[in-house]
Amino acid sequence: MNRLAMTAVILTCLASPALAQEHGDARAGRALALSACANCHLVAEGQSKPPMDSVPSFDAIAHNQAMTEARLRAFLNKPHWPMPDLQLSRQQIEDEIAFLAELRTSRR
């Protein structure tokens, strides 16, 4: 194996744990949404109606075709008013994206 190929293999192996951690956990995303977002957003069926009618439900966000993973990631990295600045970690953002992806696929 040449030196360039060996370097590529080593870098891939070193990056694998970091990449694995960036995959979201939908259950953790749901739990975070219920604890941090449910005051304004309708997160799950059976939840009491939040006080803000103009705020989209998580189901509506999940089914909004314009709301891609990249856009969600950018939005959650730097929330906009009236959404509070929750200062989510990278893993929490990936968890929220996984939860929204699960919602998107669960009701097709």
Q: Which two tokens stand for residue 4?
A: 């360039």
As a whole number of angstroms, the distance between CA 18 and CA 42 comes to 32
CA angle at 59 for the pair 54 and 60, rounded to the nearest 5°: 45
Does residue 43 lie in a domain region? yes
Does residue 96 lie in a domain region? yes
Give the pLDDT score at 7. 45
Cβ atoms 44, 102 nearer than 8 A: no
**Per-residue confidence in pLDDT tens, the chain, 108 aa:** 565 544 444 545 454 444 444 689 999 999 999 999 998 899 988 788 777 778 899 999 999 999 999 999 999 998 777 888 889 999 999 999 999 999 999 865
What pTM was estimated for this model as a whole? 0.74
Domain containing 47 equals 25-106
Provide the domain count of the chain.
1
Q: What DSSP element (H or E) covers 39?
A: none
Does residue 19 lie in a domain region? no
Does residue 94 lie in a domain region? yes
Q: What DSSP element (H or E) covers 73?
A: helix 69-77
